[in-house]
Amino acid sequence: MKILAGEPRPFGASFDGEGTNFALFSAHATAVELCLYDPAGEHEIARLSLPERTHDIWHGYVPGVRPGTCYGYRVHGRFEPHAGHRFNPHKLLLDPYAPRLAGRFSWHEAHFAYPRSDSAQDLAFDTRDNAAWVPKAVVCERSDWCNNALTPLVPWRKAVIYETHVRGFTLRHPEVPEALRGTFAGLSQPAVISYLKALGITTVELLPVHAFIDEYHLFEKGLGNYWGYNTLSFFAPHPAYLGGNDPDEFRQMVDRFHQAGLEVILDVVFNHSCEGNHLGPTLSFRGIDNLSYYQLLPGDRRFYVNDTGCGNTLNIRHPRVMQLVTDSLRYWAGNMGVDGFRFDLATVFGRTEHGFDSAATFFQVVSQDPLLSSCKLIAEPWDVGPGGYQLGRFPAHWSEWNDRYRDTVRRYWRGDSGQLPELARRLHGSGDIFEHAGRRPRASINFLTSHDGFTLRDLVSYNRRHNEANGEDNNDGHRENFSDNQGVEGPSDDPAVETLRRRLQRNLLATLAVSQGVPMLLAGDERGRTQHGNNNAYCQDNGLNWVDWEDGDGSAAELVAFTRRLLDLRRQFPVLQAYEYRHRPNDPHDDGIQWLNGEGRLMRDEHWHEHRNQLLGYLLTEKPDPRTGESRCLLVIFNAAREEHSFTLPAIATPGWRLVVDTADPDAGSGMDAPCLLAPVTVMLAPCSMQILTNCTIEDTHPTAPPSP
């Protein structure tokens, strides 16, 4: 084969109908070899030196190389770890821009650029070839771009997010063909889409789908990385999620979701890579240009900045690394059609030499990009680096996972004292955190559980984490979960304990549904899924993580039906879909929020300081209908006390109040025959329960008032 000069753009492998152009960035390499393989990626058929270098981009054009050809790189340069250089041409490296992979990764000692038995470890140079155990990049046809992300399917205020895992959601699904379970095609089966739509979901957030590998320490223990936060390639879909080996399978899944009116958001991991710390393998970035791609300690560049807790941190401030990240985002939004991204450990993107800055270059690049700025952008607003907790400080067009919401609601329903002021702030959309920067309630992604931590069922069933299966002596995972086991750790045959646990799950789901902001539900929580107390199940690719679709006692169906009712209620009442923060509760021309005490009167300052009080009324009033002059009201009553409490319904609703949800009785209010309660009237709330009422309509007949207790 012959190789011509080619062009420095675009990065990666680009087929033009007659041959393929290859372009790779490396500022410190002395030479780059292109290794071509047969379509199976097993036999090397040519090794060619890239002949040109333009602004640190090595490039060459090979006539006759067509789609389906596999390739990798060998990059020459200095091996001086203390200076930050770890070049080793004995290691075959993956193209960072590869959209498709051939072959599977398997762990082997040859992946390490040093002999692990050497006392000096990574300071020694290893000459073993790793080509037999790494996937190869594949030359692909140029795919057409779409513009789905330019026209969001769902306004933020109407969004209901469902966080799920491609493999775990369908692996046991009886209506998904067995051959498709655990794949993109399986996730987009009609039965799955129908379930999500019926539940009331608008937006599906997928745990990482970029190609990833298992960490070496998990491999040694016989475990694997289930969650996927260990990225190998930022462009290629994870091969195990493809039924075949065609990336278009992902795009087809997105198209099916869009046809059903559902959005797709990807959880993306651009803060670190799978190459780990200075003792990790050499698979791609480390061997291409370690000094450029990673943040290294200034005093000794042998070691890596570890703001992620995963061994390394990508050097997002380097122009080419930032370009890699934004090119990847554009690829998934443009070529693959996704609607948004949730950024893992997103503080990394705003950390500068002077600390976190919401005007950091990465945020500005995204904000001016016509495609990316129109996507839904969600930050996990923390990492383990200095000044890592940045909730509320991201740019205006971003939303953020709100752990303050999570912890407050958990503590309230656990029965902690003094929680009412904090609970009210979280129900209000956390304006105390976000509004100061002119942001809207949609900035707050409200969640009770996520992939990381207890499931909803475990939150009310365990006081302690039970992570022994992870092989870390139960030292991993969150220590403080604000959970409560109701007197029995784990499974219980006590009917009273089981009744209380189910009620608390309904309480938590109902609180999520009536809160201002964007609700996020963890897949399986609506079915009572348990991980048996494991709150860090990242390495458990088994029944501990897979959604169980069986329902022997009917409890899953009951909770699913209750969740549907809650999300339907949220959809029916725009007052729960706040576009802006409400601060004028007494304005008759505006909708607002009022906080009521047990007597049905407005809360006064002294009421908020009654630390033992766990009763609160949350009254939301919509703007009057211009045709009738009438307003719809929604009254939510919270009682976290372990005893029943009375609450006086205020004489605000006309002609009275009708119960729509009672978490102590999941069937109450499910029909339209609930009586109209003429206010003022006193109702009783069971211990640890919620009631949601709305004002009766004129059509409601036979109003009745129950006797006061």
* pLDDT over 80 at 142, yes or no: no
* pLDDT over 70 at 466, yes or no: yes
Task: Give the amino acid at 404.
Answer: R
Rounded to whole angstroms, the Cα distance separating 280 from 282 reads 7
- pLDDT value of residue 703: 42
Residue 618 located in a structural domain: yes
Whether the Cβ atoms of residue 344 and residue 205 lie closer than 8 Å to each other = no
Percent of the chain with pLDDT over 70: 94
Whether the Cβ atoms of residue 146 and residue 335 lie closer than 8 Å to each other = yes
Are residues 608 and 621 located together in one domain of the fold? yes
**Which range is most confident: 349-363, 580-594, 654-668?**
349-363
Rounded to whole angstroms, the Cα distance separating 137 from 24 reads 13
Confidence band, pLDDT 50/70/90 cuts, at residue 304:
very high
* pLDDT over 90 at 699, yes or no: no
Are residues 410 and 531 located together in one domain of the fold? yes
* pLDDT over 90 at 675, yes or no: no
For 208-246, the DSSP string reads --B-B---HHHHHHT---SS--SBS-SSSBPGGG-SSS-
C-alpha distances in angstroms, 207 versus 84, 263, 709? Answer: 32, 14, 50
* pLDDT over 50 at 686, yes or no: yes
> Three-class SS of residue 324?
helix
Rounded to whole angstroms, the Cα distance separating 426 from 420 reads 10
For residue 160 the two structure tokens come to: 């209901």
Confidence band, pLDDT 50/70/90 cuts, at residue 152:
low
* pLDDT over 90 at 171, yes or no: yes
* pLDDT over 70 at 83, yes or no: yes
Confidence band, pLDDT 50/70/90 cuts, at residue 590:
low
Residue 367 located in a structural domain: no
Closest C-alpha to 463, from 435, 484, 445, 432: 484
Residue 331 located in a structural domain: no
C-alpha distances in angstroms, 406 versus 222, 426, 454, 638? Answer: 33, 9, 12, 16
Q: Where are the beta strands (DSSP E) in 89-207?
A: 101-102, 136-138, 161-164, 203-206
Are residues 450 and 491 located together in one domain of the fold? yes
For residue 304 the two structure tokens come to: 């890596």
Whether the Cβ atoms of residue 468 and residue 539 lie closer than 8 Å to each other = no
- pLDDT value of residue 119: 58
Residue 112 located in a structural domain: yes
- pLDDT value of residue 624: 78
Query: Poorest-confidence range of 47-61, 610-624, 672-686?
Result: 672-686
Residue 26 located in a structural domain: yes
Residue 143 per-residue DSSP state: P
For residue 353 the two structure tokens come to: 């030499």
- 267-300 pLDDT tens trace: 999 999 999 999 999 999 999 999 999 999 999 9
Per the listing, tokens 């009331």 go with 200
Pairing of strands 444-447, 399-402: parallel
Whether the Cβ atoms of residue 523 and residue 164 lie closer than 8 Å to each other = yes
Residue 166 located in a structural domain: no
Last residue of a domain, one of 138, 153, 182: 138
- pLDDT value of residue 118: 65
Segment 160-168 shows an average pLDDT of: 98
pTM: 0.95
Are residues 655 and 523 located together in one domain of the fold? no
Are residues 603 and 471 located together in one domain of the fold? no
Task: Give the amino acid at 491.
Answer: P
Are residues 65 and 109 located together in one domain of the fold? yes
* pLDDT over 50 at 198, yes or no: yes
Last residue of a domain, one of 555, 581, 607: 581
Half-sphere exposure of 358 (CA within 13 A, CB side): 15
- Domain residues for the domain of 112 are 12-138
- pLDDT value of residue 630: 76
* pLDDT over 70 at 658, yes or no: yes
CB count within 10 Å of CB 283 equals 25
* pLDDT over 60 at 693, yes or no: yes
- pLDDT value of residue 702: 45
Residue 454 located in a structural domain: yes
* pLDDT over 60 at 701, yes or no: no
Residue 37 located in a structural domain: yes
511: CATH: 3.20.20.80
Rounded to whole angstroms, the Cα distance separating 236 from 70 reads 14
Last residue of a domain, one of 138, 164, 193: 138
Per the listing, tokens 């795919």 go with 143
Segment 537-543 shows an average pLDDT of: 97
Segment 616-633 shows an average pLDDT of: 85
For residue 196 the two structure tokens come to: 């999500």
- 366-397 pLDDT tens trace: 999 999 999 999 999 999 999 999 999 999 99
Segment 246-253 shows an average pLDDT of: 94
For 421-448, b/e burial (b = at least 16 CB within 10 A) is ebbbbbbbbbbebbbeeebbbbbbbbbb
* pLDDT over 60 at 18, yes or no: yes
Rounded to whole angstroms, the Cα distance separating 426 from 412 reads 11
Task: Please confirm whether the linkage preceding 666 is cis (ω < 30° from 0).
Answer: no
Provide the mean pLDDT of the chain. Answer: 93
Query: Poorest-confidence range of 119-133, 548-562, 605-619?
Result: 119-133
Q: Any residues with CB less than 8 A from the CB of 358 and at least 6 apart, and which?
A: 350, 393, 394, 395, 437
Rounded to whole angstroms, the Cα distance separating 371 from 328 reads 12
Are residues 124 and 49 located together in one domain of the fold? yes
Are residues 547 and 602 located together in one domain of the fold? no
Rounded to whole angstroms, the Cα distance separating 128 from 83 reads 23
Number of domains composing the chain: 3
- pLDDT value of residue 575: 92
Are residues 519 and 667 located together in one domain of the fold? no
604: CATH: 2.60.40.1180
- pLDDT value of residue 625: 75
Are residues 610 and 544 located together in one domain of the fold? no
CB count within 10 Å of CB 238 equals 22
Per the listing, tokens 């893992």 go with 344
- pLDDT value of residue 50: 98
For residue 650 the two structure tokens come to: 């205020």
- pLDDT value of residue 188: 97
Are residues 466 and 487 located together in one domain of the fold? yes
Which residues are known catalytic residues? Answer: 344, 380
Are residues 487 and 627 located together in one domain of the fold? no
Rounded to whole angstroms, the Cα distance separating 223 from 119 reads 27
Segment 314-329 shows an average pLDDT of: 98
105: CATH: 2.60.40.10
Segment 82-105 shows an average pLDDT of: 97
- pLDDT value of residue 149: 45
For residue 303 the two structure tokens come to: 């070691």
> Three-class SS of residue 593?
strand
Angle at 259 between CA 258 and CA 263, to 5 degrees: 20
